[in-house]
Amino acid sequence: MDKPALSVRGLCTYFYLKNRTVKALDGVDIDLFRGRITALVGGSGSGKSVLSLSILGLIEKPGRVVKGAVILENTDLLALPERELRRTRGERIAMIFQEPTNSLNPVIKVKEHLFEVNRRSARRMEKREALPVFHETLSRVGLRDTGKILESYPFELSGGMCQRIMVAMGLLARSTVLIADEPTSSLDLTTQAAILKELSRLREDGISILLITHDLGVVAQMADDVYVIKDGRIVEQGTVYDVFEKPKHEYTKLLLEKDTGLKWD
Ligand SMILES: Nc1ncnc2c1ncn2[C@@H]1O[C@H](COP(=O)(O)OP(=O)(O)OP(=O)(O)O)[C@@H](O)[C@H]1O
Ligand SMILES: [Mg+2]
């Protein structure tokens, strides 16, 4: 197989709480390949969001990445100075956050959020060229009345709308790697299908996608590769076919049973 587009090696992220240390990630290795969707599945609190934030260098106190490397095109992102890391985010790695309300600035218009994504993108468009693309991208994620939405502030929009705007930002970034943390949870099925279709289009354009989801149906439908995480450790990995057909780890079997009601043995 090709060289990975992004490699995570031995990543450890700990949270230093008053009377204990939470090892949210404890030696995680993951490879993302060009033009493939890699799903990361695991129960609540298993470390999925901490992994994506660690890749982007966005872990805040009391948390800290204590060990490991995140290699993108021969560079260890964790060793980059903050300025360069900031440039890498957006230009080469984009992220759709699980919590849109925390990542959209409530008092900055949607339009300005999208212009900012475009400004940081490696495939920057002229302002004139960008606006029609904004309209199109917003309608692709199921938003209507896009003119009004572009002129709105996030605080004026519902949670579901903000989530779709986050997805639109991820699509517009045109980065090498896209991390999507539960991009469709809490959206209706039609919107979910529209967004999954857009992610498939990105894959066809050669973008590597890390898709974090609870939904094993989505994994079966979308992903090429799967990693299963439990308590901050990868317990199983392989192609979707391998993992679904012959789960090795008890935890994966449990996840699959819970989701499908079938017994594996
Ligand atoms: N700011 C924080 N302070 C302390 N502990 C934290 C913090 N953020 C995350 N953790 C711990 O790290 C672990 C992993 O959390 P994470 O948010 O990555 O879970 P997750 O797999 O994304 O769960 P979910 O599916 O619910 O989104 C949890 O045990 C959580 O308690
Ligand atoms: Mg999470």
Residue 263 pLDDT level (bands cut at 50, 70, 90): low
Answer with the residue of higher pLDDT: 202 or 214.
202
Query: Residue 184 carries which DSSP code?
Result: T
Instruction: Name the residue with the closest Cα to ligand 1, atom 29.
Output: 45
Query: pLDDT tens digit string along 14-34?
Result: 999 999 999 999 999 999 999
**Alpha-helical regions (H) of 69-188:** 82-91, 100-103, 110-120, 127-140, 146-150, 159-173
Query: pLDDT tens digit string along 72-112?
Result: 988 999 999 989 988 888 889 999 988 777 789 999 999 99
244: Cβ contacts below 8 Å, ≥ 6 apart? 220, 226, 256
Q: Is the peptide bond before 62 cis (omega within 30 degrees of 0)?
A: yes
Please report, to the nearest 10 degrees, the dihedral formed by the alpha carbons of residues 141, 210, 222, 255 taken in order: -120
Mean pLDDT calculated for residue range 140-148: 94
Binding site membership of 15 for ligand 1 (Cβ less than 6 Å): yes
Instruction: Name the residue with the closest Cα to ligand 1, atom 28.
Output: 45
pLDDT of residue 264 exceeding 70, the answer is no
SS3 state of residue 265: coil
Question: What ligand 1 atom has the least distance to the C-alpha of 13?
Answer: 12
CA of 15 to the centre of ligand 1 (A): 9
What confidence score (pLDDT) does residue 187 get? 87
CA of 22 to the centre of ligand 1 (A): 9
Q: Label residue 10 left, alpha or beta by phi (over 0 means left) and psi (-120 to 50 means alpha).
A: left
Terminus-to-terminus CA distance in the chain, angstroms? Answer: 30
CA of 181 to the centre of ligand 2 (A): 7
Question: What ligand 1 atom has the least distance to the C-alpha of 43?
Answer: 25
What confidence score (pLDDT) does residue 100 get? 72
Query: Residue 150 carries which DSSP code?
Result: H
Query: pLDDT tens digit string along 43-78?
Result: 899 999 999 999 999 999 999 999 999 999 889 999
Q: In what side-by-side order are the strands of the sheet with 93-96?
A: 93-96, 177-181, 208-212, 37-41, 225-230, 233-239
Domains of the chain: 35-47+83-260 (3.40.50.300)
Binding site membership of 130 for ligand 1 (Cβ less than 6 Å): no
Residue 50 contacts residue 59 (beta carbons within 8 Å): yes
Binding site membership of 54 for ligand 1 (Cβ less than 6 Å): no
CA of 39 to the centre of ligand 2 (A): 13
Residue 70 contacts residue 89 (beta carbons within 8 Å): no
Residue 91 contacts residue 83 (beta carbons within 8 Å): no
Question: What ligand 1 atom has the least distance to the C-alpha of 47?
Answer: 18
- Least distant ligand from the CA of 60: 1
Answer with the residue of higher pLDDT: 2 or 164.
164
Question: What ligand 1 atom has the least distance to the C-alpha of 45?
Answer: 19
Please report, to the nearest 10 degrees, the dihedral formed by the alpha carbons of residues 157, 198, 181, 133 taken in order: -50
Residue 80: Cβ within 10 Å count:
16
